[in-house]
Chain A
């Protein structure tokens, strides 16, 4: 089984549109949405949920005011500023349990958190693993790991060859959880200075974890000088630029219609994404 994760560093470069089109083009694959913070892929895949469950992760402190003697030790030891006036603010509380450990009268308990929800679904493109992190919750990395494990199980059960994952923006915890152990990272970038800056950081991350990478420049004709800069940079890093997708409103029109762009139009956008999938497949091997 081979797994490709689509990343970008910068948000909004077109990861989800590419993944949804891959869903329509690829045979024998399971799909995963690892952007559990702001999961959008389901809008295009229109899943029928088969199984779902709660994601319990982490904990928060709770002070029993009946037992509390207002000694203040908990407030003193808490490094997250989560305890004020002998009461815990659940948002900054990182669940470390330091207060619980030191409370001399056992007035503090640690409460488990329902940090989100996971789902395993059918779509007309194949099985789909996805999740939703609870609002303002922590532990998105652990939920990403759960989504990936569910996708692997689906692929194993159904004898599927590939997993295609939509990744989150950034380079931190949930991105690292999406990337480690994958066979290939497809990096979708755009020819803007911020896109280039962020691409360089996510390339650095792939190199750090020794994951092979492939680049796609989306909206390449928005700034062709910058696109050339990206190509030069990639050449220097030994990374193939597998496709250059032109700027075209058809991508948004397809989105409004709730369709992957390759099913909505046969424009150059579609041709480039088809080419990109072929290159991705070749690079993934198997």
Chain B
């Protein structure tokens, strides 16, 4: 089963839930944790697994063969991202704007465009026992997270339980990370910001037709409106984590909750069972 852990709002506890769920499950079965928050990957901070594989991620960008180019301008005309400009006897390529679609190269009448690789980040793999971590990391100054997320997801092993840690937000990196999941856990906090961003995240998973359930973190602060919202929307709340200084301090030290307070393992194993139950019941959230 592929479970993604998302939230809309940042800092609600996605990483806490993803790492503790992965660690709890890995006691008895193979688990893959994919850190698809490639702009700010944090799972490694908590798991501290040795990295045994590191692969650069390239996107394909145009390389112009100036001996063949006739400056006809076709490439600039077909590029909707404005990544190529042809000015008189010059072709300018802006690799950070290129999406690597390949249209320019294919459509060049002189076959003057080859596609070179531009490194935009890295995918790293490490494992310990039953648990494997695959994380993507976007290079600083690069714009596009989705190609790295796609590379991370190529490592999915269907014989494992797969947990995907997703970046905050509701746009392309989130859609790329969640797409293809069997289930999505939405982690939120009981505050007006948490509620606002939860409702946006629910719209995303509904658009993608992925069943979902909610985990509420820092229960005890804020108000009861997240609970009300979930009830009205028929979205099950499968786990509540209290606002507790001890939990916050463990998190600050990079200690996974289920390692710092092992009693929590039971709650995360039950969370997994509940996810399976809701998934099997075909609830679409």
Give A contacts to B, CB under 8 Å.
Answer: 8-13, 16, 37-38, 40, 43, 59, 77, 79-80, 91-92, 94-98, 101-102, 133, 135-138, 140-141, 168-176, 190-195, 197-198, 201, 204-205, 208-209, 222-223, 226, 247, 249, 252, 255-256, 258
Q: Which residues of B contact A168 (CB under 8 A)?
A: 169
Known pairs A10-B11, A101-B107, A258-B192; A169 contacts B170 (CB<8 A)? no
Q: State whether A136 touches B175 (Cβ < 8 A).
A: yes
Residue of A nearest to B106 (CB): A77
Contact of B252 among A37, A77, A136, A223 (CB under 8 A): A223
The interface size of chain B toward A, counting residues with CB under 8 Å, comes to 59
Check B261 for interface membership: any CB of A closer than 8 A.
Answer: no
Check B102 for interface membership: any CB of A closer than 8 A.
Answer: yes
Contact of A11 among B10, B107, B203 (CB under 8 A): B10
Residue of B nearest to A199 (CB): B40
A-B contact pairs, 21 of them (CB 8 A): A11-B11, A37-B169, A37-B200, A38-B8, A77-B102, A92-B179, A101-B103, A136-B170, A136-B172, A136-B208, A138-B171, A169-B10, A171-B39, A171-B140, A172-B39, A172-B173, A192-B253, A193-B252, A193-B254, A194-B45, A226-B252
Q: Which residues of A contact B145 (CB under 8 A)?
A: 170, 172-173
Q: Which residues of B contact A136 (CB under 8 A)?
A: 170-172, 174-175, 204, 207-208
Q: Which residues of B contact A102 (CB under 8 A)?
A: 106-107
Q: Which residues of A contact B207 (CB under 8 A)?
A: 91, 135-136
Contact of B179 among A9, A91, A223 (CB under 8 A): A91
The distance in angstroms between the C-alpha atoms of A175 and B222, with both chains bound, is 28
Check B15 for interface membership: any CB of A closer than 8 A.
Answer: yes
Q: State whether B80 touches A97 (Cβ < 8 A).
A: yes
The distance in angstroms between the C-alpha atoms of A173 and B171, with both chains bound, is 11
Q: State whether B42 touches A96 (Cβ < 8 A).
A: no
Q: State whether A204 touches B252 (Cβ < 8 A).
A: no
Check B51 for interface membership: any CB of A closer than 8 A.
Answer: no
Residue of A nearest to B99 (CB): A94
Report the tally of A-B residue pairs with Cβ distances under 8 A. 190
Q: Which residues of A contact B253 (CB under 8 A)?
A: 192-193, 223, 226
Known pairs A37-B169, A38-B168, A136-B175; A171 contacts B103 (CB<8 A)? no
The distance in angstroms between the C-alpha atoms of A98 and B80, with both chains bound, is 9
Q: State whether B101 touches A38 (Cβ < 8 A).
A: no
Known pairs A102-B106, A223-B253; A10 contacts B222 (CB<8 A)? no
The distance in angstroms between the C-alpha atoms of A59 and B81, with both chains bound, is 11
Q: State whether B143 touches A38 (Cβ < 8 A).
A: no
Interface of B is mostly: loop
Q: State whether B170 touches A172 (Cβ < 8 A).
A: no
Q: Which residues of A contact B204 (CB under 8 A)?
A: 135-136
Q: State whether A38 touches B169 (Cβ < 8 A).
A: yes
CB distance from B210 to the nearest CB of A (A): 11
Q: State whether B80 touches A96 (Cβ < 8 A).
A: yes
The distance in angstroms between the C-alpha atoms of A67 and B138, with both chains bound, is 42
Q: State whether A171 touches B222 (Cβ < 8 A).
A: no
Contact of B192 among A133, A176, A208, A256 (CB under 8 A): A256
Q: State whether B193 touches A11 (Cβ < 8 A).
A: no
Contact of A256 among B78, B174, B191, B248 (CB under 8 A): B191
Q: Which residues of B contact A13 (CB under 8 A)?
A: 10-11
| Interface pairs A-B: 5 shortest CB-CB | A11-B10, A12-B11, A96-B101, A170-B39, A37-B169
Q: State whether B11 touches A191 (Cβ < 8 A).
A: no
Most buried by B among A8, A168, A192, A249: A192
